[in-house]
């Protein structure tokens, strides 16, 4: 009854999936779990925001008066457009148009750069005002209890988000190169879908940050 | 029924000898090898954490200064906590037995993302090295909880430890992600959710907690680090921040983290109870749903760490009730395991000795947990040795016993050899006895009102401390014996054969040690998990005792 | 019965009205635990003997728990747990709502001492005088890190949190002296942050209060300044000024002016932040970390300074700050006292 121990089947690494479909399934599920994890990361920050907004309602209400609503809104459009471009890139690959997909991805990447550029302009303005986090806060025009906390949260939340944008841009550039070099096909473009999911996550987080920091 | 092979032979080729050389280990994608590497790494961190524990017990032998000053003591208990929690207990069972066995149990060739699995191992090593480096650098004296504002004010070097734990957290998330995906997508054909082995369920529940709770810890640690580096002031009352927010966020992670430590242990025990009673669990679904229940309700109980922190009275009541609900699941499991012995065929071998120790200690650990979740009783016990004893009953008494039970149950699976059974049982008894001697006095110390994290104490506490230290030395001695005989058995132990325990666990369907590809032919699991009522289709070869 | 249990469980005497309530629920839980534990242990033992292995590969019948058994497993413990939760919560609510006629005491924790101040009367360090048989409400806060005010004999504990006041109350049942401990880890001398509640009979308390009254400032903050003064006295007495100056000029040892929280280079390389931990360590183990450029000549003051002395010295050194920019008012924490 003992199996022939001498002949282990030679199966290449990662060849343990039955077929490409189940491999894609696993990759998508893994990405969704990763996204859930990322959401919890931001949840901690949103909780902190809610906590201090409850403790200092006035400061958090007036905080938006010192924000560049125009730039924030512009950034929202930039990021949403960028997300749309990624979605279009995926459908382009599905239609077998790799070059178009690569171009769209490069466009999305460029919009990411624009986003960071605008964000940087805002940061510079705040730094110039002295609206820096915590110990460095020195903003004469907005000094009331909780004001420094508002700006601290602003810096931390947008800062963590900006790091995600940076990572996302790294992902997009890799994907763009792979798309342009014909790596993807109608049958196989899982990395592109996963990268797209990540970029949408970055976008959606901003869609929560924008009202909380600029509008509310 | 049993046509035993006289002297079972080692399979000629298996995962240990399929490839050779250190490089083949360091770059392996094989979940079994990664599990073994995790085992080695975790034994190192356990040794380190244990040495700190013994140093602490030695210092507490007498009031006043015994072997170290107060600063050294504060650093030692911090590092004991940090190492044991993050570098041993949280990864312990999932990354070792989970990695090794989960694919085998569901009939898969590997985990879903083998490369990610290896990355997870290296992240763990990097995080662990950063943390240990912080020890050599001079130590940290905040306690493993890093409570603000002390952690932002102390002069010791907290940053490397924060970053080390942050990186280890990444490793935890990736492991969890990997296991969830594996369970979802790689089960053998026909293996429905209610046919999963209970250990797989436990790892699955644990992974969900890991994936959802760990990022919150990551963010909190990041904020503390920012607080130290640039003074962001989110937790600093001098800047309008609130230290209680830190505690809420920290325990939002760290209470579920307790279940990260105990759930896999419960999974091991479910497997072992079944295997050594040769009996189906008396209620499979109760064990499954209590696992899932712990994983989810565990997220709603964090506030019971803060009954005396000025939390609102209503909040305290709510968290108290929710904690009672989560305790029910543990009670259910204890009843189920005990009644599973009914009409079994119980084999009192080494793993089962640990199982009995586990059930017994988990019962008292769990009940003391319920006791401190009672709001008024917590007024007295909070932050005393009662709490210390409580969570050591859970983490050492239960989790570590489960780890040892698993180690002794699956040692033949992993390395293909048996260990001296008599020595195993004797050591198990010694360890359980040593454990009780160490931690029972700590319950009484807590009752007397001895707060935790005290380098020095009034003299009337001393007799109980002496007892506790004596027990700790027994415990340490026990671990040395285990290390000795398991080390010896690696080379010289009797060859185990495929299934020395005659277990019906699915993992025993492949050779011991398994071939690199796990199975020689696609596995067929003919019976439901833990079913001992029908003759096995496979002959049960090999024997241990 | 309950006295016997108290002794068996090593509990301290029941010094407050809260203590007997807490102990009551404690005994209920512990007795139930032992009864159930014994029952489970016995069941397991019987099974172990009765169903021990007789031959290696025995088959066993498939036994499944009937639904009523599962329901029993859930409902019985749940019933007990919720009952305990409810009973405990009743006492907890009681312990958090001070009676209106309570005597107010402001408690301030700081590394590593407890300061007590009465609204209209004197303040004290490390000794809290209260009348027995009368409720005392404590308004607790902290000056630095989190502490926890813990009186084992009263079964009473409440965290002292910087930037906010927490509130609790107790009523000592009889005159006596009850140790106070710090239960939340707060740094180097956490284990020495001890104080004492002295419960006096009401008449004695009035006598004590009139003796103390008058010359002291009527707020908790008033206690701080004398401590700095006390530090100066201790420094003079212990001979610190033979080597350390307070005006900024280096002498045999580094000056104390602006020393607190300064980054000091060490003779072994690296730097150290002169925080409370380092200052205290330098008094106790001077050779452990010597500031670069100074000879390791300082004697140890281990055993020569009491914990109170050390705290007052540290306070004194803290008070010798260099001229620093004052933080803007925005950053001042808002302390909100809930009115009654």
Please say whether the beta carbons of C232 and C316 come within 8 A. yes
**Residues in chain B closer than 8 A to A60 (CB atoms):** none
At a CB cut-off of 8 Å and minimum separation 6, what does C228 contact?
C312, C315, C316, C319
Residue C218 is predicted with a pLDDT of 40
pLDDT over 90 at B528, yes or no: no
Which of B185-194, C7-16, C172-181 is predicted least confidently? Answer: B185-194
Q: In whole angstroms, what separates CA C205 from the centre of its chain?
A: 25
Residue C225 is predicted with a pLDDT of 56
A205 vs A157: CA distance, rounded Å: 10
HSE at residue C21, side-chain half, CA atoms within 13 A, is 23
**Residues in chain C closer than 8 A to B370 (CB atoms):** 29, 81, 84
**Contact flag A148-C330 (C-beta cutoff 8 Å):** yes
Which of A103-112, A129-138, B191-200 is predicted least confidently? Answer: A129-138
**Residues in chain C closer than 8 A to A143 (CB atoms):** 328-330
A52 vs A60: CA distance, rounded Å: 8
Strand C123-125 and strand C147-151: the pairing is unpaired
Nearest Cα of chain C lies from the Cα of A57 at a distance, in angstroms, of 14
The average pLDDT across B114-128 equals: 95
Residue C185 is predicted with a pLDDT of 94
Q: Which one is predicted more confidently, B235 or B432?
A: B432
Closest alpha carbon within chain C to B275: C57
Please say whether the beta carbons of B249 and A48 come within 8 A. yes
pLDDT over 90 at A185, yes or no: no
Q: At what angle do helices A20-55 and B159-185 cross, to 10 degrees?
A: 140
The average pLDDT across A81-101 equals: 93
Q: Closest Cα partner for B252 from B321, B303, B306?
A: B303
Which of B185-194, B315-324, B467-476 is predicted least confidently? Answer: B185-194
Structure tokens at C259: 């020393």
At a CB cut-off of 8 Å and minimum separation 6, what does A50 contact?
none
**Contact flag B243-C163 (C-beta cutoff 8 Å):** yes
C58 vs B: CB within 8 A: yes
Please return the burial class of C203, using the count of CB atoms within 10 Å of its CB with bins 0-12, 13-18 and 19+. exposed
Confidence of residue B538 (pLDDT cuts 50, 70, 90): low
Report how far apart, in Å, the C-alpha atoms of A97 and of each of A87, A100, A185, B395, C339 are. 14, 6, 9, 56, 71
Residue C323 is predicted with a pLDDT of 47
ipTM of the complex: 0.91
Residue B520 is predicted with a pLDDT of 82
For the stretch C77-103, pLDDT in tens is 999 999 999 999 999 999 999 999 899
Confidence of residue C333 (pLDDT cuts 50, 70, 90): very low
CATH number assigned to the domain with residue range B31-537, chosen from the 4 options 2.60.40.350, 3.90.660.10, 1.20.210.10, 1.10.3720.10: 1.20.210.10
Q: Which one is predicted more confidently, B89 or B12?
A: B89
**Residues in chain C closer than 8 A to A148 (CB atoms):** 330-331
**Contact flag B383-C184 (C-beta cutoff 8 Å):** yes
pLDDT over 70 at B298, yes or no: yes
Structure tokens at B232: 């962001």
How many C-beta atoms surround the C-beta of residue B224 within 10 A? 25
pLDDT over 60 at C328, yes or no: no
**Contact flag C332-A145 (C-beta cutoff 8 Å):** yes
Q: Closest Cα partner for B317 from B325, B309, B307?
A: B307
B238 vs C: CB within 8 A: yes
The average pLDDT across B451-475 equals: 94
B4 vs A: CB within 8 A: no
Query: Which of A51-55, A183-187, B35-39, B311-315 holds the top average pLDDT?
Result: B35-39
DSSP state of B246: H
Report how far apart, in Å, the C-alpha atoms of C211 and of each of B253, B294, C121, C122, C123 are. 52, 59, 10, 10, 12
With a pLDDT cut of 70, the percent of chain B lying above it is 97
When scoring A138, A141, A146 by the number of chain C Cβ atoms within 10 A, the one with the most, hence best to mutate, is A138
- Interface partners of chain B (CB pairs < 8 Å, 3 or more) are A, C
- Interface partners of chain A (CB pairs < 8 Å, 3 or more) are B, C
When scoring A7, A24, A152, A157 by the number of chain B Cβ atoms within 10 A, the one with the most, hence best to mutate, is A152
Considering Cα of C202, then C206, then C211, then C215, what sign does the dihedral take?
Answer: positive
**Residues in chain B closer than 8 A to C70 (CB atoms):** 283, 286, 332
**Contact flag C74-B328 (C-beta cutoff 8 Å):** yes
Nearest Cα of chain C lies from the Cα of A63 at a distance, in angstroms, of 14
Residue C219 is predicted with a pLDDT of 39
At a CB cut-off of 8 Å and minimum separation 6, what does C102 contact?
C134, C135, C136, C137, C169
How many C-beta atoms surround the C-beta of residue B51 within 10 A? 15
User: Which C positions 195-254 lie with beta carbon below 8 A of chain B?
Assistant: none
**Contact flag B236-A146 (C-beta cutoff 8 Å):** no
The average pLDDT across A108-126 equals: 95
Please return the burial class of A136, using the count of CB atoms within 10 Å of its CB with bins 0-12, 13-18 and 19+. middle
Nearest Cα of chain A lies from the Cα of C331 at a distance, in angstroms, of 7
DSSP symbols for C278-305? HHHHHHH-TTTSPBTTS-S-PPP-TTTS
**Contact flag C92-B364 (C-beta cutoff 8 Å):** no
**Residues in chain B closer than 8 A to C65 (CB atoms):** 282-283, 286, 336, 339
Q: Which one is predicted more confidently, A57 or C301?
A: A57
pLDDT over 70 at A157, yes or no: yes
For residue C104, the SS3 value is strand
Q: Closest Cα partner for B328 from C78, C319, C222?
A: C78
**Contact flag A144-C330 (C-beta cutoff 8 Å):** yes
Confidence of residue B539 (pLDDT cuts 50, 70, 90): low
Considering Cα of B173, then B178, then B179, then B185, what sign does the dihedral take?
Answer: positive
Strand C127-131 and strand C195-200: the pairing is parallel
For residue B237, the SS3 value is helix
Structure tokens at C152: 């084992």
Please state which CATH class domain A41-215 belongs to. mainly alpha
A154 vs A160: CA distance, rounded Å: 10
Please say whether the beta carbons of B250 and B234 come within 8 A. no
B247 vs A42: CA distance, rounded Å: 17
C190 vs B: CB within 8 A: yes
Q: What angle do CA B222, B180, B204 make, to 5 degrees?
A: 95
Q: Closest Cα partner for B455 from C281, C178, A150, A102?
A: C281
For the stretch A58-74, pLDDT in tens is 889 888 888 889 999 99
pLDDT over 50 at C335, yes or no: no
DSSP state of B395: I
When scoring C164, C330, C335 by the number of chain A Cβ atoms within 10 A, the one with the most, hence best to mutate, is C330
Q: Closest Cα partner for A132 from A119, A114, A107, A149?
A: A149
C16 vs C13: CA distance, rounded Å: 9
pLDDT over 90 at C215, yes or no: no
Query: Which of A142-146, C91-95, C217-221 holds the top average pLDDT?
Result: C91-95
Mean per-residue pLDDT of chain B: 91
Domain chopping of chain A, boundaries: 41-215
Beginning with the edge strand found earlier in the chain, give each strand of the sheet holding C123-125 in spatial order: C123-125, C113-117, C103-110, C136-142, C166-170
């Amino acid at each position: 009854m003992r199996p022939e121990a001498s002949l282990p089947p030679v199966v290449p690494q990662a060849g343990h999936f039955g077929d490409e479909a189940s491999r894609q399934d696993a990759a998508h599920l893994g990405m969704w779990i990763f996204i859930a994890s990322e959401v919890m990361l931001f949840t901690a920050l949103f909780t902190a925001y809610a906590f201090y907004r409850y403790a200092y309602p006035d400061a958090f209400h007036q905080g938006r008066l010192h924000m560049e609503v125009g730039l924030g809104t512009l950034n929202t459009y930039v990021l949403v457009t960028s997300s749309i471009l990624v979605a279009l890139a995926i459908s382009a690959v599905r239609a077998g148009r790799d070059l178009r997909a690569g171009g769209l991805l490069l466009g999305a990447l460029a919009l990411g750069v624009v986003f960071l550029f605008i964000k940087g302009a805002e940061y510079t303005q705040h730094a110039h005002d002295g609206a820096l986090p915590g110990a460095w806060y020195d903003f004469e025009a907005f000094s009331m209890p909780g004001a420094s906390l508002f700006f601290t949260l602003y810096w931390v939340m947008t800062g963590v988000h900006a790091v995600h944008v940076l990572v996302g841009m790294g992902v997009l550039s890799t994907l763009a190169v792979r798309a342009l070099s014909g790596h993807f096909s109608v049958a196989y473009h899982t990395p592109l879908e996963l990268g797209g999911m990540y970029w949408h996550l970055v976008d959606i987080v901003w869609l929560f940050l924008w009202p909380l920091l600029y509008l509310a | 029924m049993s046509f035993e092979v006289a002297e079972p032979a080692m399979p000629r080729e298996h995962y240990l000898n399929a490839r050779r050389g250190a490089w083949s280990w360091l770059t392996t994608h094989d979940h079994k090898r990664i599990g073994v590497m995790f085992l080695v790494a975790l034994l190192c961190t356990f040794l380190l954490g244990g040495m700190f524990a013994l140093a602490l017990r030695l210092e507490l032998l007498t009031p006043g200064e015994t072997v170290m000053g107060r600063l050294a003591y504060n650093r030692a208990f911090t590092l004991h906590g940090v190492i044991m929690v993050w570098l041993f207990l949280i990864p312990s069972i999932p990354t070792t037995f989970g990695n090794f066995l989960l694919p085998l149990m569901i009939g898969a060739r590997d985990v879903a993302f083998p490369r990610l699995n290896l990355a997870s191992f290296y992240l763990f090593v990097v995080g662990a090295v950063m943390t240990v480096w912080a020890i050599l650098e001079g130590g940290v004296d905040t306690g493993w909880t890093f409570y603000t504002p002390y952690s932002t004010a102390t002069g010791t070097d907290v940053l490397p430890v924060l970053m080390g734990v942050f990186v280890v957290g990444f490793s935890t998330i990736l492991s969890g992600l990997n296991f969830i995906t594996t369970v979802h997508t790689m089960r053998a054909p026909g293996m429905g959710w209610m046919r999963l082995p209970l250990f797989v369920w436990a790892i699955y529940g644990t992974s969900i907690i890991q994936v959802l709770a760990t990022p919150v810890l990551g963010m909190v640690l990041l904020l503390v680090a920012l607080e130290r580096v640039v003074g962001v002031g989110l937790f600093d009352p001098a800047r309008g921040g609130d230290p209680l927010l830190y505690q809420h966020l920290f325990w939002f992670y760290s209470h579920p983290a307790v279940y990260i430590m105990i759930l896999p242990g419960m999974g091991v025990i479910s497997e072992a109870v079944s295997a050594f009673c040769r009996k189906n669990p008396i209620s499979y679904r109760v064990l499954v749903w209590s696992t899932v229940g712990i994983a989810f309700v565990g997220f709603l109980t964090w506030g019971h760490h803060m009954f005396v922190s000025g939390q609102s009275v209503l909040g305290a009541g709510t968290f108290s009730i929710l904690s009672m609900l989560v305790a029910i699941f543990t009670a259910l499991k204890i009843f189920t395991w005990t009644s599973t012995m009914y009409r079994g065929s119980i084999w009192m071998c080494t793993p089962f000795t640990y199982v009995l120790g586990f059930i017994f200690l988990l019962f008292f650990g769990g009940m003391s947990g319920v006791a401190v979740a009672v709001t008024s009783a917590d007024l007295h016990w909070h932050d005393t040795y009662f709490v210390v004893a409580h969570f050591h009953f859970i983490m050492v008494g239960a989790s570590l016993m489960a780890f040892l039970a698993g180690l002794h149950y699956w040692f033949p699976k992993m390395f293909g050899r048996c260990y001296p059974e008599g020595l195993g049982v004797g050591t198990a008894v010694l360890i359980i006895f040593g454990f009780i001697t160490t931690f029972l006095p700590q319950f009484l110390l807590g009752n007397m009102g001895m707060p935790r994290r005290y380098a020095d104490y009034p003299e009337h506490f001393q007799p109980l401390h002496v007892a506790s230290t004596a027990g700790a030395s027994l415990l340490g001695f026990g671990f040395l014996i285990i290390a000795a005989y398991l080390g010896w058995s690696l080379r010289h132990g009797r060859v185990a054969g495929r299934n020395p325990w005659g277990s019906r666990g699915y993992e025993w369907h492949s050779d011991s040690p398994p071939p690199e590809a796990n199975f020689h032919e696609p596995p067929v699991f003919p019976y439901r998990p833990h079913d001992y009522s029908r003759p096995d289709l496979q002959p049960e070869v090999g024997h241990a005792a | 019965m309950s006295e016997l249990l108290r002794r068996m469980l090593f509990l301290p005497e029941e010094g407050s009205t809260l203590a007997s309530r807490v102990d009551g629920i404690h005994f209920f839980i512990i007795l139930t635990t032992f009864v159930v534990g014994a029952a489970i242990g016995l069941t397991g033992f019987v099974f172990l003997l009765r169903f021990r292995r007789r031959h290696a590969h025995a088959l066993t019948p498939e036994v499944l728990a009937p639904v009523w058994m599962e329901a029993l497993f859930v409902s019985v413990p749940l019933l007990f747990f919720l009952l305990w939760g409810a009973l405990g919560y009743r006492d907890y609510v009681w312990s958090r709502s001070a009676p209106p006629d309570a005597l107010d005491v402001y408690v301030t924790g700081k590394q590593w001492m407890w300061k007590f101040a009465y609204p209209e009367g004197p303040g004290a360090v490390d000794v809290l005088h209260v009348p027995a048989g009368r409720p005392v409400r404590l308004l607790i806060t902290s000056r630095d890190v989190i502490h926890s005010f813990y009186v084992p004999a009263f079964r009473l504990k409440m965290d002292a949190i910087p930037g906010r006041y927490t509130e609790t109350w107790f009523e000592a049942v009889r005159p006596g002296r009850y140790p106070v401990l710090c239960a939340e880890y707060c740094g180097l001398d956490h284990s020495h942050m001890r104080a004492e509640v002295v419960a006096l009979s009401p008449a004695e308390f009035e006598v004590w209060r009139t003796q103390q009254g008058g010359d002291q400032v009527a707020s908790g903050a008033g206690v701080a300044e004398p401590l700095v003064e006390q530090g100066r006295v201790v420094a003079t007495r212990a001979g610190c000024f033979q080597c350390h100056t307070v005006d900024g000029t280096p002498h045999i040892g580094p000056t104390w002016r602006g020393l607190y929280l300064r980054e000091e280079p060490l003779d072994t390389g690296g730097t150290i932040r002169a925080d409370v931990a380092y200052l205290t360590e330098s008094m106790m183990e001077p050779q452990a970390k010597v500031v670069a450029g100074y000879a390791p000549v300082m004697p140890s003051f281990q055993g020569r300074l009491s914990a109170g002395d050390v705290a007052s010295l540290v306070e004194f050194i803290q008070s010798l700050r260099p001229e620093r920019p004052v933080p803007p008012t925005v950053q001042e924490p808002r302390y909100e006292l809930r009115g009654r």
